[in-house]
Amino acid sequence: MSADTPPAAKTTKAQSMNGAEAVVRSLEMLGITDVFGLPGGAILPVYDPLMDSSKIRHILVRHEQGAGHAAEGYASSSGKLGVCIATSGPGATNLVTAIADAHMDSVPLLAITGQVFSHLMGTDAFQEADIVGITLPITKHSFLVTKAADIPGALAAAYEIATTGRPGPVLVDITKDAQQEEFDFSWPPTYELPGYHPVTKANSKQIQAAAELMAQAKKPVFYVGGGIVRSGAAPELLKLVELVGAPVVTTLMARGAFPDSHQQNLGMPGMHGTVPAVLALQESDLLITLGARFDDRVTGKSSLFAMNAQVIHVDIDPAEIGKIRHAEVPIVGDLKDVLVDLIDAYAKEMGKKKLDITEWWVRLNALRSEFPLGYSEPEDGQLSPQYVIQRVGELSGPEAVYAAGVGQHQMWAAQFIKYERPNAWLNSGGAGTMGYAVPAAMGAKVAQPDRVVWAIDGDGCFQMTNQELATCTLNQIPIKVAVINNSSLGMVRQWQTLFYDGRYSHTDLNTGHDTVRIPDFVKLADAYGALSIRVTKREEVDDAIKLALATNDRPVVIDFVVSADAMVWPMVPQGVSNSGVQYAREHAPSWDDEE
């Protein structure tokens, strides 16, 4: 994991303070510089000393879900630990979606919540919720702290758990009496994590077995997942891939882990992947699986996925290996360390020879020529969403950060923006959380203030969390928001077009119609203090994007009014094989085809 490393622990003399002060002091000692939160009664004691901290910037959000997603965006763009704070009851439960999202996508997140007085717990007290019980299935660990003296140890342990091994969210719930209680604070605290021993160094015999399989392969493919990004192993991946000469596919969570411009990159696999990427996996004889988990959106019907391939599966989480697909060579370890060993082992195995996969590349290059990624202009004459997103990427460049919501615009952003570096692409991959983009972009801009940060959102997603534009305006966080406004819940509408005979049940949002715009995004953005622009014509696209890029004193919202009929292609229906005929671009794939 490439999370930030806390500063060398300085031993401090015992000092009397209350638990709330200990929360702030502990965060400072852990090197935390930015937190996102919203105060309330049960966490109020913490907010008093937080006001006096010169080391921690607190950003007041408008909704706790926004705090959670902002902490995710902060972490995902920088590799640092993201921190969010909320009060008890509804404050804590409003964090649950973001915590679940971080759990699915392995994002290092620390959620600190206030809890009612310990003697009131279990009585249905005002704003009481068993947030520890609620979050146990969606965190790496959840702590309940009822004594002030336990606060430093709980927060230090939470930091270690969240940022080591497979990163993920940790919750620390602190009762109000623990926050008010006095005790003698000292640092570093002592704590124990029995049973928590993440393996980072792989077994050398498994490394050798993997090298031998790679040396014998005729149709190998590097199947690269988000674990490469989380481990900071992109440089090692590039070195190994070039050494072997095999093709690479990067999952939705791994976009940017391997440069799109590299000749060996076939693109994204899966439901909306490129034809060469999907068929490379299907036809391969060896999957070199790195930090990926054989998600159903990649495999389609898992029993029909890559049926002739042997599998090398590297993951820091042993629970992922063998969960969906048997691995002939399972390797548990941190990818950054594993790839260094694998590079050495493979080089020794091959000696001066090069892997001969010429015929394999002939086949793949033919697929590239036959099935290039592209799109058709809408027949209704309206703006093409793919074109808009492509121009956002081309004008902003690979050093920008792009946070997407969930739906059609997410897939188009994954397809038509070229990613050259890790941590440039942020999205809700596993949970598929609508409303992720704006707060995640806000968090990314706080973590990476010198980068251009875009939220690429849909009109449905944007209405879920756009209140955080107020947070951005008031805190001088100048994100750019591209609203891909097709006046509908686009991905649901696409499924209704393909599989429900065009019966558009409750998917029209009325946000982009000429006669009625509810809400009018330009007026809404203006009310939040953002620069607001509406674009309806192709010739207006570049000027609007350039104006957004030149504006850095406030957020920018561009309402791109696009065609509601645009489709995400290619598309493999859920639960079917990934084999060739599913890639018809001119007509709907068959729902019942289980080839």
> Which positions are catalytic?
64, 126-127, 176, 491
Counts of helices then strands in the chain (DSSP H, E): 23, 20
Integer Cα distance of 156 and 163 in angstroms: 11
How many other C-beta atoms are found inside a 10 Å radius of the C-beta of residue 174? 30
Is 197 in contact with 258 (CB distance < 8 Å)? no
Radius of gyration of the chain (CA): 25
**Partners of residue 144 on adjacent β-strands:** 173
Residue type for position 402? Y
SS3 per-residue string spanning 517-536: CCCCHHHHHHHCCCEEEEEC
How many other C-beta atoms are found inside a 10 Å radius of the C-beta of residue 147? 15
Look up tokens 């697909």; give the residue. Answer: 325
Helix (H, G, I), strand (E, B) or coil at 187: coil
Burial of 519 (0-12, 13-18, 19+ CB in 10 A): middle
Look up tokens 């599913």; give the residue. Answer: 582
Peptide bond into 519 cis (omega under 30): yes
SS3 per-residue string spanning 459-502: HHHHHHHCCHHHHHHHCCCCCEEEEEECCECHHHHHHHHHHCCC
From the list 144, 141, 145, 143, the residue with the least C-alpha distance to 161 is 141
- DSSP string over 341-369: HHHHHHHHHHTT-----HHHHHHHHHHHH
With the CA atoms of 37, 38, 39 and 43 taken in that order, what torsion angle do they form, in degrees rounded to the nearest 10? -40
User: In this structure, are strands 15-18 and 182-185 parallel, antiparallel, or unpaired?
Assistant: antiparallel
Residue type for position 481? V
From the list 447, 444, 531, 431, the residue with the least C-alpha distance to 481 is 531
Integer Cα distance of 126 and 139 in angstroms: 25
From the list 422, 32, 445, the residue with the least C-alpha distance to 232 is 422
Helix (H, G, I), strand (E, B) or coil at 235: helix
Look up tokens 């509908």; give the residue. Answer: 488
Helix (H, G, I), strand (E, B) or coil at 557: strand
